[in-house]
Amino acid sequence: MAAVKRTKKANTKAAAPKAPRRTKMQAQEALGAALARVVRARAMAPMAAAPPTRMVVTVEVDGSHLIPYSVRWDGDRVLDQLQSDQAAIMMSPGRHLLTWSFNHTIEATWRHKLTVQIDGQAPRVLADKNSTANPKDAVSGGTEIFVA
């Protein structure tokens, strides 16, 4: 049996010239320039004005509440009361912070409930506490809200 000699086929395609590799700094600069172009294009594009987003914050407390509670929106006081109350907040696009603080350290029995309702959707309970589960407690909390 005769030995078959195999030869490599010649590559008929012309090899594309390799682009020089970018340094990390060059890649970051190119990405930054591309993002800047996108931001400028979006800024120039006409945008339909979105209707303002309305949020209603409701706080329910029992009648024996002795220390005022506080609810803040982006650091501004929205509610600071001894009794149940609610406030409407017009929200602008962006990232916002809603915080609250209740102090029940001198009350024998207490209860509080904080809910938010955005644009007429179903209310969402953010805090619902009472003295049977948390005796003599100071409660604070917060949540970030993103508005498009």
Domains and CATH numbers, the chain: 53-147 (2.60.60)
Quote the CA–CA distance of 48 and 51 in Å, as a whole number: 9
Q: Evaluate whether 144 touches 102 at the Cβ level (below 8 Å).
A: no
Closest CA to 85 of 68, 110, 103, 105: 68
Instruction: Write out pLDDT tens, residues 20-44.
Output: 776 877 777 777 777 677 666 655 5
Q: Which two structure tokens, joined as six digits, stand for 53?
A: 């987003």
Provide the mean pLDDT of the chain: 78
Q: Rounded to 10 degrees, what is the CA torsion of 102, 107, 108, 113?
A: -30
Q: Evaluate whether 54 touches 91 at the Cβ level (below 8 Å).
A: yes
How high is the pLDDT of residue 106?
A: 82
How high is the pLDDT of residue 56?
A: 92
How high is the pLDDT of residue 18?
A: 67
Instruction: Write out pLDDT tens, residues 70-117.
Output: 999 998 999 998 899 999 999 888 888 999 998 888 888 888 899 999
| DSSP assigned state of 104 | -
Closest CA to 93 of 41, 48, 36, 34: 48
For residue 133, name the pLDDT band (cuts at 50, 70, 90): confident
The yes-or-no verdict on residue 57 having pLDDT over 60 is yes
Mean predicted confidence (pLDDT) in 44-73: 78
